[in-house]
C-alpha cells in the first residue's frame, strides 16, 4: 500500500510543478473584446477611424470609459479587420507592460487619440452581478497613435 502511495505521489509531482510555474498570468489590461470598424459616412479626417466597441464596468460611466479604452486597445494589440490597421501594432504587450499600464491609466495618454465618443443605438444594458455594458461609437486618430508609439520606441517606424 505504501509503495502505491509513493508511486502515485511521484506521478502527480510533474502536474504540481507545471501548475506552479513562474509563468505570468495574462495581463487583464490587454484583454480586448470584439471591436469593429464602421464605414466612413461622415467624412472623417485622414488618419482617423470610427470603431464600434463595448465596455463593461461596475457602473455606466466605467463601462463607457472601458469601451473607449477597448477601441484604442484593439488598434494596438489586435488590429481591426476592414480598417487601415488590420494587424496588431504591438503583438507582445507584456514586453512593454509598464508603459501600457501608464498609457491606459485613468488619466493616461490614450485619451489624446480619441476625438469622438457617442453611445450606439443599442446603447447600454445591465448585466449579471450588477455590471453595466456600454456600446459606443469611438473615433481614434490611429496615425497620431502610431507616431506616438514610434516616438516612444514601442514600435518600429512604419512610415505612415
* pLDDT (0 to 100) of residue 38: 67
| Contact by Cβ (8 Å): 155, 77 | no
pLDDT of 107 > 60? The answer is yes
Q: Is 80 inside a domain boundary? A: yes
Q: Is 71 inside a domain boundary? A: yes
* pLDDT (0 to 100) of residue 138: 92
Report the predicted TM-score, pTM, of the whole model to 2 decimal places: 0.74
Q: Is 141 inside a domain boundary? A: yes
Percent of the chain having pLDDT more than 90?
Answer: 39
Q: How many other CB atoms are found less than 10 A from the CB of residue 72?
A: 27
* pLDDT (0 to 100) of residue 14: 44
User: In this predicted structure, which of 17-31, 79-93, 107-121 has the lowest mean pLDDT?
Assistant: 17-31
Q: Is 139 inside a domain boundary? A: yes
Q: Is 16 inside a domain boundary? A: no
* pLDDT (0 to 100) of residue 6: 46
Q: Is 146 inside a domain boundary? A: yes
Domain containing residue 59: 26-151
pLDDT of 104 > 50? The answer is yes
Q: Is 157 inside a domain boundary? A: no
pLDDT of 8 > 60? The answer is no
| Contact by Cβ (8 Å): 140, 71 | yes
Number of domains in the chain: 1
**The three three-digit cell numbers of residue 137, written as one number:** 461609437
Q: Is 4 inside a domain boundary? A: no
Q: How many other CB atoms are found less than 10 A from the CB of residue 68?
A: 21
Higher local confidence (pLDDT), 55 or 32? 55
∠ CA 96-102-106, rounded to 5° = 145
Amino acid at each position: 500500500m505504501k509503495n502505491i502511495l509513493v508511486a502515485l505521489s511521484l506521478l502527480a509531482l510533474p502536474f504540481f510543478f507545471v501548475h506552479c510555474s513562474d509563468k505570468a498570468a495574462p495581463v487583464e489590461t490587454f484583454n480586448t473584446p470584439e471591436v469593429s470598424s464602421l464605414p466612413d459616412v461622415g467624412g472623417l479626417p485622414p488618419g482617423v477611424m470610427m470603431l464600434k466597441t463595448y465596455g463593461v464596468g461596475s457602473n455606466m460611466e466605467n463601462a463607457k470609459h472601458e469601451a473607449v479604452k477597448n477601441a484604442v486597445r484593439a488598434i494596438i494589440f489586435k488590429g481591426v479587420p476592414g480598417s487601415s490597421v488590420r494587424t496588431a501594432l504591438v503583438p507582445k504587450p507584456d514586453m512593454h507592460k509598464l508603459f501600457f499600464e501608464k498609457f491606459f491609466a485613468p488619466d493616461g495618454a490614450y485619451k489624446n487619440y480619441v476625438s469622438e465618443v457617442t453611445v450606439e443605438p443599442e446603447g447600454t444594458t445591465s448585466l449579471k452581478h450588477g455590471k453595466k455594458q456600454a456600446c459606443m461609437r469611438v473615433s481614434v486618430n490611429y496615425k497620431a497613435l502610431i507616431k506616438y508609439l514610434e516616438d516612444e520606441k514601442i514600435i518600429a517606424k512604419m512610415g505612415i
